[in-house]
Amino acid sequence: MNKSPSKMQHPDGHDGSELLPLSPLAPPLEEDPLVLVLQNEDGSDKTGERKNSEELQSLWRKAIHQQILLLRMEKENQKLEASRDELQSRKIKLDYDEVGTCQKDVINVWDKKLLNCRAKIRCDMEDIHSTLKEGVPKSRRGEIWQFLAVQHRVRHRLPNKQQPPDISYKELLKQLTAQQHAILVDLGRTFPTHPYFSAHLGAGQLSLFNLLKAYSLLDKEVGYCQGISFVAGVLLLHMSEEQAFEMLKFLMYDLGFRKQYRPDMMSLQIQMYQLSRLLHDYHRDLYNHLEENEISPSLYAAPWFLTLFASQFPLGFVARVFDIIFLQGTEVIFKVALSLLSSQETSIMGCESFENIVDFLKTTIPDMTQPQMEKIITQVFEMDISKQLHAYEVEYHVLQDELQENVNPCDEGEPLEKLERVNSHLKRQNMDLLEKLQVAHAKIQNLESSLETILTRENKMKTLIQTLEQEKITYQKTLEQMMKYLPAEALSDCELLLKEVNCNPNNKIKNKE
């Protein structure tokens, strides 16, 4: 270690002082401590002391340790900066007004439930329903959606034929999609005013492109449909890309939303018919008013269904709708649509022209106040239309089959009057079938209520029988105890009494058996 300063230089010509700018004993930077030590070593005649090799090694050790410490601090600073960027991005993503407030006790309940998410423990659905009704914290919404997806999959497993292909998100991103142009065109149309998606090819648009590209490659039948971009965008605002991809697969495959995006749009046609029937049965005046002005649900409700209300309604309202969708599935869209139309029935009835009604449905209805949105969400939680939706779907298929049987391809010269007669005949058949179906539904509901009453009585009778049997056993034991204290001449009378007690109808039945 006793070398001159010239021998301590690096091969590139720099001296050792450049290696130790951060020595723990550093005075001003122009006077490096190791150089001073080496100078003092050569100038021993001035100082009268010589640094030994152990002291030099100690200085080197300290310098190296401090350099390692500084490198670690630099890495930690980089992590801190990344964390700050993530927090800033998260803040931008969640830039929307919530519908309703979530109290602290409800947040605590959700925290406890989220502990069961990774363990995949089955939770009570009624408890989840009541908690979800109380509200969802915006900061934990993505985690809660994943928790609800786990709870659904624990109870309902898709058949193997309906499972999505087992390809990872990263593998899909390496491939090329034929839908690339359509996806790029729609990036700027998806939430154009939201700060996360507004920047052209910014972080939000790039994540959205990756997600839509991956799904188009995963689901070859559906590929890409315009409405999916809004659904994917809502997911990205609450979770990472890979998590959003998994939840998009859950919505499409597990909950069955992919049916409405198929190229034939058959499922969407059925949904429009179901919504029309709901209006016909529950809001007849509004239904007649829309029919008189030739306004079908496809004119105003198709975007609601294809984007899950995300393209026209406030994000806070949309997020709340997604909360319920993850719990209850596709029927939530019908509930929300029916509640929206019924809440504005008077105003819609006041619109007298086709243009005014369509404009009201597309612009005025989405522009709701906070109390109105909260009222809609409350109504959705309380509504149950699953049986009606199933009946309407069966009804649609029956009508389609009859239409194919009764209406054959006609010649070009066939009079229009014949087609009108067939059409009116089918309408009458349709109304007759609807009336019969409503009568059948009423009978089924009456039978179900009667069955519940009978089951309740049966349970009460079983409880009463068990109580009587326990009393009988208690009385027999008491009587046996009393017999121990009776004189011998009285035992014969007690035995006769016991025989009479045991000879009851139940025992006779058991003996026969």
Q: What does the pLDDT look like over 265-294, one tens digit per residue?
A: 899 999 999 999 999 999 999 999 999 999
For helices 180-187 and 228-236, what crossing angle results, to 10°? 60
CB atoms within 10 A of CB 2: 12
- Residue 513: pLDDT band with limits 50, 70, 90: very low
Whether residue 143 is predicted with pLDDT greater than 90 in this model: the reply is: yes
Comparison of pLDDT for 50 and 389, the residue scoring more? 389
Note the pLDDT of residue 27.
44
Buried b (16+ CB within 10 A) or exposed e, 47-72: eeeebeeeebeebbeebeeeeeeeee
Report residue 56's pLDDT band, with 50, 70 and 90 as the boundaries: confident
Question: Residues 101-109: what's their mean pLDDT?
Answer: 89
Give the Cα separation of 355 and 507 in Å (integer). 80
Per-domain boundaries in the chain: 157-404
| pLDDT at residue 30, as a whole number | 46
Token pair of 449 as six digits: 């209520």
Mean pLDDT (whole number) for 350-358: 92
Q: Is the pLDDT of residue 35 over 60?
A: no
pLDDT at 11: 42
Q: How confident is the model at residue 1 (pLDDT cuts 50, 70, 90)?
A: very low
Q: What is the pLDDT of residue 12?
A: 44
pLDDT class of 335 with cuts at 50, 70, 90: very high
Which of 36-50, 225-239, 410-424, 431-445 shows the lowest mean pLDDT across its residues?
A: 36-50
Cβ atoms of residues 462 and 469 within 8 Å? no
User: Average pLDDT for residues 296-306, to the nearest whole number?
Assistant: 94
Q: What angle do CA 119, 123, 127 make, to 5 degrees?
A: 145
Percent of the chain with pLDDT over 70: 80
**pLDDT score of 50:** 52
pLDDT at 508: 44
What pLDDT score does 265 carry? 87
Q: Tell me the average pLDDT across 228-234.
A: 96
Query: What's the CATH fold of domain 157-404?
Result: Cyclin A; domain 1 (1.10.472)
Question: Which H/E stretch holds residue 296?
Answer: none
Give the pLDDT of residue 484: 75
How far, in Å, are 206, 231, 271, 300, 359 from residue 227 at the CA level? 18, 7, 16, 14, 21
Determine the pLDDT at residue 18: 42
Measured CA to CA, the distance from residue 74 to residue 89 in angstroms comes to 22
Q: For residue 88, what pLDDT band results from cuts at 50, 70 and 90?
A: confident
Q: Let me know: does 279 contact 200? Beta carbons within 8 Å.
A: no
Average confidence (pLDDT) over 188-202? 92
pLDDT at site 498: 66
Query: What was the pLDDT predicted at 415?
Result: 65
CA pseudo-torsion sign 495, 501, 505, 511: negative
Rounded alpha-carbon distances, angstroms, from residue 18 to 51, 70, 115: 21, 16, 53
What was the pLDDT predicted at 430?
72
* pLDDT of 79 over the 80 cut: no
As a whole number, mean pLDDT of residues 206-223 equals: 95
Average pLDDT, the chain: 82
What's the pLDDT score for residue 140?
92
Of residues 451 and 316, more confidently modeled: 316
pLDDT at position 261 is: 95
Grade residue 134 by pLDDT with cuts at 50, 70 and 90. Answer: very high
pLDDT higher at 348 or 485: 348
Predicted pLDDT of residue 85? 66
pLDDT over 60 at 469, yes or no: yes
55-59, 65-69, 72-76, 399-403: range with lowest mean pLDDT: 72-76
pLDDT at 483 (0 to 100): 72
| Mean per-residue pLDDT, 116-130 | 82
Percentage of residues in the chain having pLDDT higher than 90: 51
pLDDT (tens digit per residue) in 370-426: 999 999 999 999 999 999 999 999 999 988 888 877 755 544 445 677 677 777 777
Judged by average pLDDT, the poorest of 231-235, 298-302, 482-486 is 482-486
- Greater confidence, 336 or 3? 336
Region 430-452 average pLDDT: 76
